[in-house]
A and B are shown apart, each in its own frame.
Chain A
Amino acid sequence: MSADGKVTKEEAQSSLGVAEKMQWAGFKRGMYPRWYGALVAVWSGVLVAALTSGSGLWLLLLAAGLIGHFVWYRKRGAMVNEIGSKRDLVMVLLLAVVGTGVAASGFVGLAYGLQWAPYAAGIALAGYIYGIMEVSYHDVWRRMREESN
């Protein structure tokens, strides 16, 4: 900005270019890789299977997963904001409802003598979470591309 507060067209274009470049830099730093989505899905499935089958391992799995995520997050030094709209918020709420439902079905199935129910619940949840993570991954990339156009 010049002393009289005027900004030329060239300055404005240059500023926009820099802003876009830096937004991409931040995004690339903070965006999780696709394998991370798969890992979260597998972890969630195993956790639910352990929890509903009555294995005491679930607490250990929960702690290991949370600590692992925390360490990974700190190591990366940045995290993309995935919740960019009301639709994303609905997705998160839906995930919580489906997750609780699937876990409950594992408990109920076991109560009815279906020994495989906890494992089926774990596989179902892992598949569902993997799907959500994939959708979210592509959604965030699409949002970034739209914003930079």
Chain B
Amino acid sequence: MKTSLDPVIHAPKRLEICAMLMPLIDAEFQVLRDELGVSDSVLSKHISRLEDAGYVKLRKSAVNGRQRTWARMTASGRKAFSSHVTALQQLIANANGTS
């Protein structure tokens, strides 16, 4: 089966976001930011891109008057991430086969 790399997911920070969300139901914005070691604005930008692609869904909730944002992978996002990982593995296998 031939799969291709997903340019939306391939960007390093977006790959990290997707990978981190994969085993989770959802994760809070702050948790993602801390694990990725990026600023709020950088994380927002990447999450928006993933949201536009339909890979991530955001949910907002207020706790003690503070707005908190939660992100979760959609079914299509999970599928796209798995395909992307398979494509990377195929690429390595092909490179090993030709070298």
Q: Which A residues are closer than 8 A to B by beta carbons?
A: 1, 7-9, 12-13, 15-16, 18-23, 25-27, 29-30, 74, 77-81, 144
From B28-36, B43-51, B52-60, give the one contacting chain A: B28-36
Q: For chain B, residues 12 to 49, give those with C-beta under 8 angstroms from any C-beta of chain A.
A: 12, 15-28, 30-31, 35
Chain A interface, >50% SS class: helix
Cβ distance B91 to chain A, nearest Cβ, rounded Å: 5
Tell which of A1, A13, A18, A20 touches B5, judged by Cβ atoms closer than 8 Å. Answer: A1
Would you call B89 an interface residue if the criterion is a C-beta within 8 Å of the partner chain's C-beta atoms?
yes
Given contacts A29-B27, A79-B26, contact A16 B92 (CB under 8 A): yes
| Residue B85 CB within 8 A of the other chain | yes
B8 to chain A, nearest CB (A): 11
- Does the CB pair A80–B23 fall under 8 Å? yes
Given contacts A1-B10, A18-B15, is CB(A80)–CB(B25) below 8 Å? yes
CA distance A25 to B27 in the complex (A): 12
Closest to B73 in A: A81
Q: A16-B85, A18-B12, A22-B16 are in contact. Are A30 and B25 (CB under 8 A)?
A: yes
